[in-house]
Amino acid sequence: MASVETVKVEPSADLENEEEVKFVWGRKRGIGGKRKEVQFYESFTYDDVEYALYDCVYMHKEGQLPYIGKIIKIWENPDKSRKIKVHWFFRPSEILYHLKGVKVAVENEIFLASGEGTGLANVNPLEAIAGKCNVVCISEDNSNPQPSEEEVKMADFVFYRAFDVGKCSILDKMDDKVGGLDGMCLSSLVKYVFNRKVSQKASHVLKHASDQNGDKNAVEYQATTKESFGLKALNDLGTSKASHLDGKIDVDAQSSLVRQDALQRETNVSRVNKETTKKANSAPGEQNSHDVSRVAKAAGKLSHIVGKSDVNVQTSPVRPDANDSRVKQQSTMKGNPAPVQIVNSTATTVVQNTISEENACCKINNEKDDKKVNKPPINLVEAGETGKSPKDLGVLEDRPSKRIKVNGSVTLSEDKGVNSVEKSTVCRNEKKVLGTSAVPSEERKKSVDSKLSGGLDKNMKIRKDSAALDSRPSKKANIDARKVQEDRDKSNMLGKRADNLGKLPKVSTGTSPKEVERTEGKSFEVTRRPVAESSKWFKAPPWEEVMQTANEQGALILLENLNPEYTSGEVEDIIWHACRENCTTKMVQRTAFSSPYSGRALVAFKTREGAERVTKKLADGCLMVSNQRPLVASFVSLPKTEGNPTSLAGHLCVDKLRLQLQREMREAVSTSHCSQPNTIEYEMANEWRLLQARSDSWWNRLYKQQKEDLTKITSGLKRK
Amino acid sequence: METSDKEYVAFGEKVKRTIFIDNLSPVATEAVVKAALDQFGNVIQVKFIPNYLEPKNIGQAALVEVENADQAKTIISELSNSPFMICGMPRPVRARAAEAEMFDDRPRKPGRKIVCRWLDSSDPDFEVANKIKLTVRKQAEESKFLLKHQLEEEENLSKKQMETLNASYKKFEIIESVVSNRVATRLAERYRVRVADAEH
């Protein structure tokens, strides 16, 4: 065995002293190489964690979630450089594109690389290892020792399928073709793909002077496929639903820690015990040194990282330092010890980067913020967005409560890969909104010439009700009051009476009119309206005209809380049956941010009086449609178009080149293209997609919340 | 007009092969959108969704009907994977599957019966119904607010990017001028530094 040389390890792991990471070779395996100069090994101990052949490990990837791989070869070159050959696993997020239509079995499923081509396996410096990983094979193949339920639960990852890197497809069965190495045959499969029956590590703890110089490069992972997948993962950050690793709680972490240690067989048993207890104890402590809530989420992964950490009892901030030194080793491109600057981002150490699951990449080098995991993908930083404040990971817990909270501090909680609105800014905006609009509404109040005297009373009543209903701070009441003001103001339009333009119902049917008696409190069925005789002679003018005319007259109403599935004609029928008024209606088409359950319709009447009548009726009484939805009617005036905007926010062009652009426009060249990945434009585009994704999530949450609110109230209805 | 089941089913098919695109520039026309998406498949028709009530600067939205549902799916996934820009950069357009409610010419659902009822104040449900009405109003306000906020965010991002872009362009100009008037090469000779010929 190798000679035993003890090296005194400095207890205070200075940040600069990266040489202090302990390394010890394990059992030798054989000699190889052209001139018999390469020594193969079966195991080694790195940073007090023992690794053996066919163990699964995390491999550092700068700025991203670490890769997962299986060690299939370990050796030392004559120049003392230590290498391992790693057979890769793919996370779902790395091959999202090829997972279309494929269902991921469990959230922590990964795929074994198979087939031929780049991305199958790579040689890497041993120092690129970021930690041990517990991967359990749940393949139902006969030769696979089936793991117990416990083991599966405790595993970091499971796999039973393979991903063929050549064909870019998923293989459901583990056949002999997995991996093109070493003449794969079933026995090899058994040997290193399937679960091993006994952990055959017999490590010898040897203090061995380790030269920590040499190339401490980052993972030299050649496969461009992985790069592009990484980028794709970036794109799909906001949208991908392949969320894996919701955090296991601390309890699990500790128990898995203990279990892991139990598996490791050390000659020095007492040392194991000390380590175990220390880790178990220190785990919560160390975790507390970072953002608490985030930790709770990712404790499962944390356990492994902790497992490899420096166990020197004397060192005070144990883990961060050790890992910082790791950061410097692996993530710098140069061979020199990296400047301390990198380490400034102690909070965002490598470890934490591996923790934060949803980020496909976290910045190790570039980020200046401490204590906050950075959501935006790395290309944002490269675009020089240094001024950008870190986006909180937290999720908007309660949509309406955004109005209440004044502090911007957001505690990180369960997230689904989504940025939240920074609450402080939201509240600031909201305050601004209130502030600025308070003034005009005051003015408008004075000039109210409400024609609906009855409506005015109603509004007062509503306002009182809202004050009573709302237990929330007065901000909400203000908003209601404002809204009510606006309604009144809209009804304030001084419209002239217009002659009948002979607007006809759009739907002209030949069905015989069905007269339905309408009595208070009795329900009636809405069927086709009776058609005026003259309908056969006139052609209905287009909706735009109708709408504009009604708008000018003040005869345009907005109906809300309709079933979005209704068509325009059905709404017209409703109005007719309920109020005996003819009208022309257009259901507002749904867009990206329309409410999914409250449909809206613009209703145009021939006369303003007709509109008023209907509005009054609907406001005073309650017209329940399908016994669930009281219609809400309000006057509306279309927002004036102060000239259509000529460009959309986000369409940029360099001023100097503007002339060129104009020429293009004039020549009506349709400029459309897909963006290429290595341009500034691409990065900016990704920023936009991120914003789009965020907006989507805001809307989703808002509507979800609103729906809940509504269902709660609706359940109070007695007659269903 | 009564819609038969067949018509309704046919409409459903149409919905499946239609894509909803938004974040379109106001200057984009139907022809432009059609030309842009023709790369991916056969575009049958493009219809813009009119925006009556919302603020004007949210970008246009359009319904694009393509030949079949598969093409629609392909386009949507392509546009999700890599940013696609129409009529302006770098803000990409966003595509998703269309829904029936997006169409303004949708047929009625056959067999749907609408029942209405007037409530007066003596009705036990009157209070609750009023509450619902209030809530609906309130929620409409919330939506408006969120939309406003979204637009502000977009403006901010746009401004930031504009700055970055200008800065980059300035840098680029400097480099270009230095290279073109051979100052760079002369400096390189002076300092004995190799200047790579950056031919892009």
Give A-chain residues touching B83 at CB under 8 angstroms. Answer: 235, 674-675, 682, 685-686, 688-689
pTM score of the predicted model: 0.48
Instruction: Give the CA distances from residue A273 to residues A259, A267, A318, A429, B138, in Å, rounded to whole numbers and listed in that order.
Output: 12, 12, 18, 56, 61
Q: What is the mean pLDDT of chain A?
A: 59
pLDDT, residue A667, reads 45
Task: State the best of B117, B147, B153, B174 to mutate against chain A, taking most chain A CBs within 10 Å.
Answer: B117
Q: What is the pLDDT of residue A19?
A: 54
List, for residues A375-410, the tens digit of each pLDDT value: 333 333 333 333 333 333 333 334 444 443 333 333
Q: Look at residues A197, A217, A234 and tell me which one is the last residue of a structural domain.
A: A197
Least confident segment among A196-205, A358-367, A476-485, B91-100 = A358-367
- Please say which residue of A585, A614, A635 terminates a domain: A635
List chain B residues with CB under 8 Å of A656. 169
Which of these ranges, A287-291, A571-575, B75-79, has the smallest mean pLDDT? A287-291
The pLDDT tens digits of the residues spanning A52-86 come to 888 889 998 888 888 999 998 898 888 888 889 99
Residues A480/B130, Cβ–Cβ less than 8 Å: no
Bridge partners, residue B115, by sequence? A525
Q: Are A572 and A529 in contact (CB under 8 A)?
A: yes
Name the amino acid, one letter, at A178: V
Cα separations in angstroms, A262 against A147, A199, A254, A683, B27 = 17, 11, 12, 47, 67
* Chain B residues touching residue A592 (CB < 8 angstroms): 20, 22, 61, 94, 96
Question: What's the rounded Cα separation, in Å, for the pair A683 and A339?
Answer: 28
A584 is a domain residue? yes
Q: Is residue A205 part of a domain?
A: no
* Calpha distance A59→A135 (Å, rounded): 14
Look at A164-173, A469-478, A610-619, B37-46 and tell me which has the smallest mean pLDDT. Answer: A469-478
Q: Of the ranges A536-545, A628-637, B102-111, which one carries the lowest mean pLDDT score?
A: A536-545
Q: Is B174 on the interface with A (CB under 8 A)?
A: no
- Identify the segments of chain B with pLDDT beneath 50: 1, 199-200
Q: Is B27 on the interface with A (CB under 8 A)?
A: yes
CA distance B15 to chain A (A): 13
Residue owning tokens 């325009």: A568
The CA-based diameter of chain A, rounded to the nearest angstrom, is: 108
**Interface check B87 vs A, CB under 8 A:** yes
Residue A649's pLDDT is what? 67
Size of interface A-B (CB pairs under 8 A): 347
Q: What is the pLDDT of residue A210?
A: 36
Supply the pLDDT for residue B75: 84
Report the percentage of chain A scoring pLDDT > 70.
40
Residue A119 lies in a domain: yes
CB atoms within 10 A of CB A133: 25
Residues of B in contact with A692 (CB under 8 A): 23, 92, 94
CATH code of residue A151: 2.30.30.490
The amino acid occupying position A15 is L
Q: CA of A462: which chain B residue's CA is closest? A: B134
The top-scoring range by mean pLDDT among A266-280, A704-718, B132-146 is B132-146
Residue A197 has pLDDT above 50, yes or no: yes
pLDDT value for A675: 63
Cα–Cα dist A64/A370, whole Å: 17
The topology under which CATH files domain B1-97 is Alpha-Beta Plaits (3.30.70)
Chain-chain contact of A688 with B164 (C-beta, under 8 angstroms): no
Helix axes B183-191, B126-180, angle to 10 degrees: 70
pLDDT higher at A366 or A153? A153
Distance CA A699, CA A706 (A): 10
In the predicted structure, residue A348 carries a pLDDT above the cut 50: no
- Across the interface, whether the CB atoms of B35 and A670 are under 8 A apart is answered yes
**Per-position b or e across A599-638, b if 16+ CB within 10 A of its CB:** bbbbbbbbbbebbbebbbbbbebbbbbbbbbbbbbbbbbe
State the pLDDT at residue B56: 66
Residue A292 has pLDDT above 70, yes or no: no
Surface of B (129-168) touching A: CB under 8 A: 129-143, 145-155, 157-158, 160-162, 164-168
Question: In the prediction, which pLDDT does B2 show?
Answer: 55
The structure tokens listed for A171 are 């293989």
Q: What is the tally of structural domains in chain A? A: 2
How far does A172 lie from chain B, in Å, by closest CA?
24
Q: Which residues pair with A164 in a beta bridge?
A: A114, A169
Using the Cβ of B59 and the Cβ atoms of chain A, whether some distance falls under 8 Å is answered with yes
Indicate the residue among A149, A169, A197 that finishes a domain.
A197
Span of A1-10, A168-177, B51-60, B146-155 with lowest mean pLDDT? A1-10
Interface predicted TM-score (ipTM): 0.82
pLDDT of residue A658: 54
d(CA A326, CA A1): 28
| Subunit contact A672:B155, Cβ cutoff 8 A | no
Q: Which domain holds residue A95?
A: 23-197
Taking residues A294-310, what's their average pLDDT? 39
Does any domain span residue A554? yes
The answer to whether B22 faces chain A, any CB pair under 8 Å, is yes
Say what the pLDDT of residue A286 is: 39
Cβ-defined contact of B166 to A699 (cutoff 8 Å): no
Q: Residue B186: what pLDDT?
A: 78
CATH number for the domain including A612? 3.30.70.330
Nearest alpha-carbon partner for A587 in A576, A598, A440? A598
Chain-chain contact of B118 with A520 (C-beta, under 8 angstroms) = yes
- Position A312 scores a pLDDT of 38
Each domain of chain B, given as residue ranges in start order, spans 1-97, 117-199
What are phi and psi for residue B139, nearest 5 degrees?
-70, -35
Total number of residues shown for chain B = 200
Residue A606 domain flag: yes
pLDDT at residue A474, as a whole number: 41
The pLDDT value given to residue A503: 37
